[in-house]
Amino acid sequence: MTKPFPKILGLIPARAGSKGVSNKNMRLLGSEPLIRYTIEAARQSDLLDKVIVSTDSPETADFSNRFDGTSAFFLRPPHLATDHSPMIDVIVHAIDYAETEWGKFKYVVLLQPTCPFRAIDIIDKAIRQIICEDADSLISVRKIPHMFHPFWAYTYADKSLVKALPDVNRSIITRRQDLPDTYFRDGEIYIARTSLIRAGQITGGSISPWINENSFGINIDTPADWARAENLLQAWKDHTSLVSWC
């Protein structure tokens, strides 16, 4: 007998305030608000049982509710919509709402609107990976280029350069070929058990890496990031069929 597939919640966090790019979730990237790119990526998934948008903005909620399969029927309270609001509290608030409406979920898939150019199949492939590995959480990562490797990083203190990771490797690695692979979080996808999130962690326990090789990856945080996204947009449209709605 085949084991039933676990129930999975897709969550798109989209508060109105933003210091780097004003009102960026509803700002037009090309001809569409930024958030729509993530809504459409979530709607393409076969494995998300529900997709909800957590926002404090009535405009964003009204826009999100236009699309079949996407719900933004609740507004995030003001104390969860500040620059200092912990994301873990935002996610727990959304889980509480979703589980009141639709019952328990085993995993939550966090999809940030600031990463608009996901590969068409990343969500379902990442979900299958975490389930296959029975991991507690998953994050999408990219390989750090050798010139930025943490073993070659320094901090400046007391008028002197100090190795940023002094206890990891006491001798300097001089050849890039000898550097161990290291990775950085790219923000495209996070998955975690709801039990882990309720314990106060988004990533933790056994962490599965989704090694992302999508060449259009970007996480928009500054005006420079936005300009780069505008430059990438047409190439991304030409590369993927996900944008048939544009």
Q: Do 170 and 233 belong together in one domain?
A: no
- Summarised one tens digit per residue, pLDDT across range 176-201 is 888 889 999 999 999 999 999 999 99
State the Cα–Cα distance between residues 109 and 182, nearest whole angstrom. Answer: 24
Q: Do 149 and 137 belong together in one domain?
A: no
- Closest listed residue to residue 184, CA positions, set 244, 226, 144: 144
Domain range spanning residue 220?
Answer: 8-143+182-245
State the Cα–Cα distance between residues 143 and 11, nearest whole angstrom. Answer: 26
Q: Do 49 and 160 belong together in one domain?
A: no
Q: Do 48 and 90 belong together in one domain?
A: yes
Q: Interior CA angle at 244 toward 241 and 246, to 5°?
A: 130
DSSP 70-110: EE--SB--GGGSSTT--HHHHHHHHHHHHHHHH---SEEEE
Q: Do 162 and 123 belong together in one domain?
A: no
Identity (one letter) of the amino acid at 40?
E
Mean pLDDT of 223-231: 95
SS3 147: helix
Residue ending a domain, among 159, 181, 203, is 181
- Closest listed residue to residue 112, CA positions, set 23, 187, 18: 187
pTM exceeds 0.95:
no
pLDDT band at 168, cuts 50/70/90? Answer: low
Q: Is the predicted pLDDT of residue 101 greater than 90, yes or no?
A: yes
pLDDT at position 143 is 94
SS3 196: helix
pLDDT at position 159 is 87
Residue 1 lies in a domain: no
How many structural domains compose the chain?
2
Q: Residues 232-238: contacts with CB within 8 Å, 24+ apart?
A: 232/117, 233/29, 233/30, 236/117, 237/30
Could you say which DSSP state residue 55 is in?
B
Give whole-number Cα distances, 174 to 149, 165, 166, 171, 177, in Å: 12, 15, 15, 9, 9
Q: Do 97 and 170 belong together in one domain?
A: no
pLDDT at position 170 is 61
User: CB count, 10 Å around CB of 187?
Assistant: 20
Q: Do 107 and 117 belong together in one domain?
A: yes
CB 110 within 8 A of CB 14: no
Residue 209 lies in a domain: yes
Mean pLDDT of 91-110: 96
- Closest listed residue to residue 140, CA positions, set 93, 203, 78: 203
Match 């798109």 to its residue by tokens.
Answer: 12
pLDDT at position 3 is 56
Nearby residues of 82 by Cβ (< 8 Å), 6 or more positions away? 17
- Closest listed residue to residue 140, CA positions, set 188, 205, 72: 188
pLDDT at position 17 is 76
Match 């989209």 to its residue by tokens.
Answer: 14
Q: Do 43 and 64 belong together in one domain?
A: yes
- Summarised one tens digit per residue, pLDDT across range 27-53 is 999 999 999 999 999 999 999 999 999
